[in-house]
């Protein structure tokens, strides 16, 4: 091994690293190209089925016949089951331009599209979730969770003083980062849980907690100690936000919002900026999570605070909206069909 290493020419390591990056990029582009071709083909098939049924009076049974004929003609290609063909028709019906709003549908995997067209009736909502999925690289599980939790109604809904306390660009991004309410129903706690119980449960479920907080949050510590003039203070939860490039102090209150809560959090932000923030970090942001709040009281309280703070509710228990009823098969049923096709082709 030593002899081989000694014969490596100068500059080889950097060239190899560059080559790996180029190969990985080409591979990713190839995968995206394959996905784009698949989505366009599915949309075209769905449009053809829809038009022939509308213009030539073909009934629904033609889909079963088409599935059988395509499977006979292309036994090695999966995805042409009658159930999936119904999704293709539904795709063309709900997205007649091949776009989800202004978002090209072929930027998304097929079953992400299926989730969007079957779980969301409103075209603007579908476009919003499609854009967020492409921007953040959501998995289908994450997309389904955000749809179920109605993220579009909660995003950028917290009461903040960001517009007055942060530069415009950072203010807009910070406002979009926060939501209201935050949903912690995955903790298994009742409405009367105490602050420490909630805090401990959030740490036990840190992955779900970070998912609910949103993209960019990195967990730093719990009960993070600050020493100010010999007195000790403890921050409930401390995070660093990668996109905002700043620390985020999160304080939990198992009561309704009170103006003095903002004063306490303002003190913590001053201490973090003085003791922890690096010179190239942006100003630390505070997030106060309360059981409930009066929005006007919160707005008045934050108007006199000199540090950027957001106030939002959290919910431990809630009633979920009823799922959208559809005659289409579930995604799980489609995937089960694909697995059976793969297993049978291996016999």
Query: Among 148, 182, 199, where does a domain finish?
Result: 148
Flag whether 113 is in a domain. Answer: yes
pLDDT digits (tens, 9 = 90+) for 86-138: 999 999 999 999 999 999 999 999 999 999 999 999 999 999 999 999 999 89
Q: Residue 289, preceding bond cis, omega within 30 degrees?
A: no
pLDDT digits (tens, 9 = 90+) for 299-313: 999 998 999 999 999
Calculate mean pLDDT across residues 267-284.
Answer: 96
Query: Among 148, 165, 184, where does a domain finish?
Result: 148
Here the tokens at position 34 are 């394959």
Flag whether 1 is in a domain. Answer: no
Residue 183 sits in the same domain as residue 308 = yes
DSSP string, 39-92: HHHHHHHHHHHHHHHHHS---THHHHHHHHHHHHH-TT----SHHHHHHHHHHH
pLDDT digits (tens, 9 = 90+) for 187-211: 988 888 899 999 999 999 999 999 9
Percent of the chain with pLDDT over 70: 88
Flag whether 336 is in a domain. Answer: no
Range(s) of the domain holding residue 140: 12-148
CA dist., res. 138 & res. 143, Å (int): 6
Residue 175 sits in the same domain as residue 232 = yes
Instruction: Name the band, by pLDDT with cuts 50, 70 and 90, for residue 329.
Output: low
CA dist., res. 89 & res. 44, Å (int): 9
Residue 308 sits in the same domain as residue 180 = yes
Residue 38 sits in the same domain as residue 91 = yes
- Name, in order, each residue with C-beta under 8 angstroms of 341's C-beta and a sequence gap of 6 or more: 78, 81
Flag whether 324 is in a domain. Answer: no
pLDDT digits (tens, 9 = 90+) for 208-244: 999 999 999 999 999 999 999 999 999 999 999 999 9
pLDDT at position 3: 46
DSSP state of 9: P
Domain count for the chain: 2
Residue 20 sits in the same domain as residue 143 = yes
Residue 120 sits in the same domain as residue 177 = no
pLDDT at position 203: 93
Instruction: Name the band, by pLDDT with cuts 50, 70 and 90, for residue 55.
Output: confident
Flag whether 38 is in a domain. Answer: yes
Instruction: Name the band, by pLDDT with cuts 50, 70 and 90, for residue 327.
Output: low
Query: Among 148, 169, 199, where does a domain finish?
Result: 148
Flag whether 235 is in a domain. Answer: yes
* pLDDT higher than threshold 60 for residue 14: yes
Flag whether 134 is in a domain. Answer: yes
Residue 39 sits in the same domain as residue 179 = no
CATH number, domain with residue 310: 3.40.1350.10
Terminal C-alpha separation, the chain: 45
Flag whether 268 is in a domain. Answer: yes
* pLDDT higher than threshold 50 for residue 1: no
Average pLDDT across the chain, whole number: 87
């Amino acid at each position: 091994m030593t002899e081989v290493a000694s014969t490596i020419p100068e500059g080889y390591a950097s060239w190899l690293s560059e080559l790996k990056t180029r190969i990985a990029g080409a591979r990713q582009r190839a995968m995206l190209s394959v996905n784009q071709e698949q989505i366009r083909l599915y949309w075209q098939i769905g449009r053809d089925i829809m038009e022939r049924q509308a213009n030539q009076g073909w009934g629904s049974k033609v889909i079963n016949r088409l599935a059988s004929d395509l499977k006979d003609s292309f036994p090695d290609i999966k995805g042409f089951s009658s159930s999936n063909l119904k999704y293709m028709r539904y795709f063309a019906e709900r997205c007649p331009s091949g776009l989800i709003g202004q978002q090209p549908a072929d930027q998304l995997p097929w079953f992400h599209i299926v989730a969007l067209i079957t779980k969301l009736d409103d075209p603007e909502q579908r476009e919003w979730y499609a854009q967020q999925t492409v921007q953040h690289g959501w998995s289908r599980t994450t997309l389904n969770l955000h749809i179920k939790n109605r993220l579009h109604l909660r995003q950028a809904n917290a009461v903040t003083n960001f517009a007055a306390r942060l530069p415009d660009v950072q203010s807009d991004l910070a406002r979009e980062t926060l939501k209201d309410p935050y949903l912690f129903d995955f903790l298994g706690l009742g409405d009367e849980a105490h602050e420490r119980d909630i805090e401990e449960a959030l740490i036990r479920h840190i992955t779900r907690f970070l998912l609910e907080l949103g993209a960019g949050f990195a967990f730093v510590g719990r009960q993070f100690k600050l020493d100010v003039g010999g007195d000790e203070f403890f921050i409930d939860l401390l995070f660093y936000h990668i996109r905002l490039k700043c620390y985020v102090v999160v304080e939990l209150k198992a009561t309704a919002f009170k103006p003095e809560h903002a004063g306490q959090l303002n003190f913590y932000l001053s201490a973090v900026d003085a003791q922890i923030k690096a010179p190239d970090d942006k100003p630390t942001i505070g997030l106060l999570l309360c059981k409930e709040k009066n929005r006007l009281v919160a707005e008045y309280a934050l108007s006199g605070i000199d540090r950027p703070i957001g106030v939002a509710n959290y919910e431990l228990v809630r009633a979920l909206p009823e799922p959208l009823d559809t005659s289409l098969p579930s995604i799980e049923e489609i995937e089960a069909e694909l697995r059976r096709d793969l297993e049978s082709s291996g016999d």
